[in-house]
Amino acid sequence: MGDGIDLPGALKRLVLLAPFLVGCVDFVEPDLADIGAPAVIEATIRITDRGVTELEALLAPGLDDAGLRRGVTRDTLFALGRAVVPDSVAHNGSRRYRSMWESSPDAVAEPVTFSGPFLAGPIASPPEVTWTGARRVGPDSIDVVRGEDVAFEIERGPGTVRPVPDVQQWFLRLEGDAGAFNVSADGEPPDSIRIPASWVPAGSEVAVQLIFAQSAVTVNMTGDYIGLIRLDIRLHWTLRMIDSQGTRP
């Protein structure tokens, strides 16, 4: 956290992880900004190993110390090297961004970069992050003998992490014909996640999804531009359940 903002730990985690927990993003900008309050860019990037990348963001430039609306000198933001322009501009100067594009299945492990729009005035620089994701090791379909444990192997992508995320958490969900099982923990996911046989839901096939969530609040040197940045990496497997003779039930 930079100077000028002090969120209690529990509240900070809630703010940063809320979009991952509810499964969608619903940015709400203040209609009347406080005079001299920092500008804010809030962004969520979601990358899946199924070849889809999504970005949702909201820029609230707010009012400067004189009570005048801050100007935006470049309202384009950049995510993963892609330029994204706002799809709408509100009466108070807020910009909303939504973009979806096809990406390589390996994009989940490539360096993830984000840079916010530029604002007018003495604001030093826009929020920026460079993070890494994770990839699945091995095939996306696994034959599993019913009654045996199953392990999901992953590896972190290469690259520099800047800044270090304030919050990291992973969520694993296994869903079968008759129910689902969920497990989650703080921090980075381990290289191998082993699930006991008794936790694997019933069904001839079980769909598995791993969400690796990273979040940070960034504040520039002058304290007048805040970024709330979230990265959501999603990996998938299909478990094909077989009996001890290698045949499917």
Q: DSSP per residue over 62-81, as a string?
A: -B-TTSPBPPEEE--EEETT
Indicate if the pLDDT at residue 233 is higher than 70.
yes
Tell me how many domains the chain contains: 1
Any domain includes 78: yes
Any domain includes 52: yes
Indicate if the pLDDT at residue 222 is higher than 90.
no
Distance in angstroms (rounded) separating the CA atoms of residues 33 and 25: 21
Any domain includes 60: yes
Give the mean pLDDT of the chain: 87
Indicate if the pLDDT at residue 45 is higher than 60.
yes
Distance in angstroms (rounded) separating the CA atoms of residues 136 and 132: 14
Q: Which residues contact 30 (CB under 8 A, 6 or more apart)?
A: 60
Any domain includes 1: no
Task: Read off the DSSP letter of residue 188.
Answer: S
Any domain includes 2: no
Residue 22 sits at φ, ψ, to 5 deg, of -95, -15
CATH number assigned to the domain comprising residue 220: 2.60.40.10
- Structural domain boundaries enclosing 106: 9-242
Confidence band of 31 (pLDDT split at 50, 70, 90): low
- Mean of pLDDT values over 14-43: 62
Buried b / exposed e along 6-19 (16+ C-beta atoms within 10 A): eeeeeebbebbbeb
Distance in angstroms (rounded) separating the CA atoms of residues 9 and 217: 12
Over residues 63-95, the pLDDT tens digits come to 888 888 889 999 999 999 999 999 999 988 999
pTM, whole model, 2 decimals? 0.84
Any domain includes 248: no
Any domain includes 3: no
Any domain includes 249: no
- Mean of pLDDT values over 218-230: 89
